[in-house]
Structure 1
Amino acid sequence: MGIDLKPFDALLFDLDGTLVNTMPLHGRAYSMAFETLGYHLREEDFLAHVGPPARIAIAAFASAAGMGQVDEAMIRTIHREKKRFFSRILAEQKPEALTASKLLGDQGRGKRMAVVSSGNREGVDAILRRMEWTELFDVVVSGDDTEQGKPAPDPYLQAATALHVPAARCLVFEDTEAGVHSATAAGMNVIDVTRPGAVVLASVDRERRANAQ
């Protein structure tokens, strides 16, 4: 990736859809989980609601699948079934590493590194093990580690604190709107990997959202 990394001391990565193409695997696992309950989750409805923490996303998936408003017990049931199916799928299929993962090698050498994911700790750790990336990161923040997940700034602020790097010296790589907002709200600049070459500046994004309110 042709990015000037000199101004930054740390590189922070979202995981699913940014470093590794696990979205199809997550989609299959959720689809199978809903099928066990007699409902169908369409791929487009899954993709429309990814990004926030699992409990929020699952509520949106359930509504899209025709279940209406679900309680916490049902959310936990769906999540448990999804994790069961995802573990099975991940064991059978190694996901594709995406372009941003090249920075885990020589390009990113000398930088502190973190994963900041909305996924649950168990799933995040399983993906890192499957990709043989566990030892590459100084810090891993999962969706289980903060009360407020993306798009709130908490996950990225927690990662920066653990890395002992000021937010302004962190560069984030993200693939969802919730993730981009989370990072810029934390005062970090972001590479939107869905738009090659696009850098979202923290100051610009905060001003744009303020003007939209």
Structure 2
Amino acid sequence: MHIIKIIPTLEDIKAITSARSILFDMDGTLVNTEPLHAKALLNTLQELSPKRNFIIEELHQMFHGQGDNDVYKALETELSVSFDDFLTIKNKYFIKSISESERILRPEITSLLEQLKKESYKIALVTASEKSAALCILEKENLKKYFDIILTREDSSETKPSPRPYLDAIEKLNIKKEDAFIFEDSETGIQAAIESKINYAVANWFI
């Protein structure tokens, strides 16, 4: 396992893997959106449980990198709505935060994607985010053009920490596991990578 603290270049990637297909997580790996998720969660809780005084820093620390299903389970006693309704409300605030934010993309990421594309690598985005949120980010940062496939929460029968999204990705790319390499930052994403039996690196460059 590799832990990478600085956004890699193409040469850095070549040094750790011979795979020609790179699978990226989105939140916390490609884009620094974890603070926006915390803000969206705070706004959601203020709407659904206004009597409680939640603090954004605590929410960020508690739920960094966790999927919305795990967040909902942890806060279910504070909520009076179904998971689907919770997700709808949170996505509303998350997309609003994206539209109001400055660029959430580091130029080094764009440079890396451009290098990979120029060298004819296959590039996949594999995210546990909802399709609407993922596409909003990709369009805002003009990233969609780099990816051969984009898999969101709705595109697999299971979400991370299940390995299913990554297994679906290599199937859609028509490649073997040894031809792929994953970049992930969160515990759930890393667990998904491990269980997929695909080589991976931990992306710590936004921490």
TM over 0.5: same fold? yes
5+ unaligned residues in a row in structure 2: which ranges? 1-7
- State how far apart, in whole Å, the 1-side matches of 2:205 and 2:44 are: 32
Q: Aligned match of 1:15 in 26, 44, 49? A: 26
Matched ranges for 1:70-89 at <5 A: 73-89=81-97
* Matched letter for residue 106 of structure 1: Q
Q: Which one scores higher on RCO, CA 8 angstroms, separation ≥ 6?
A: 2
Q: 1:18-57 maps to which residues of 2 (within 5 A)?
A: 18-37=29-48, 38=50, 39=52, 40=54, 42-57=56-71
Contact conserved, 1:146 with 1:155, CA < 8 A, in 2? yes
Q: Which residue of 2 aligns with 1:157?
A: 167
CA deviations over 1:9-60 (Å, ceiling 9, x no partner): 2000000110001111111111011101214254333443344542232222
Secondary structure of the corresponding residue to residue 136 of structure 2: helix
Q: Could you tell me which amino acid in structure 2 is paired with residue 81 of structure 1?
A: I
Counterpart pick for 1:112 among 116, 122, 137: 122
| 3-state secondary structure, aligned to 1:55 | helix
| Residue 122 (structure 1) shift | 0.8
Equivalent position SS for 2:201: strand
Q: Rate the CA distance shift 1:120–1:41 in 2: closer, same or farther, 3 A.
A: farther
Does the 8 A contact of 2:183 with 2:202 survive in 1?
yes
Secondary structure of residue in 2 paired with 1:185: helix
CA distance in 1, matches of 2:30, 2:89: 25
Amino acid at match of 2:139: R
Letter in 1 for 2:31: V
SS of 1:179's partner is helix
1:59 and 2:73 correspond? yes
Q: Cα distance, 1:172 vs. partner?
A: 0.6
Give the paired residue count.
190
Please give the TM-score of this superposition, normalised by the length of structure 2.
0.82
Matched residues, percent identical?
Answer: 25
Q: Which amino acid aligns with 2:114?
A: G
Number of the residue aligned with 1:97: 105
Deviations 1:92-111 (A, max 9, x none): 11342245554201145311
Identify the residue that residue 133 of structure 2 maps to in structure 1: 123
Kept after mapping to 1: 8 A contact 2:66/2:187? no
Contact 2:66–2:186 at 8 Å: present in 1 too?
no
User: Which of 180, 185, 189 in structure 2 is aligned with 1:175?
Assistant: 185
TM-score (norm 1): 0.79
**Pairwise CA distance, 1:119:** 0.5
Question: For the aligned residues, what is the CA RMSD?
Answer: 2.3
Q: Distance in 2 between matches of 1:53 and 1:26?
A: 10
Contact 2:30-2:105 within 8 A present in 1 as well: yes
Q: Structure 1 residue aligned with 2:197, among 166, 176, 187? A: 187
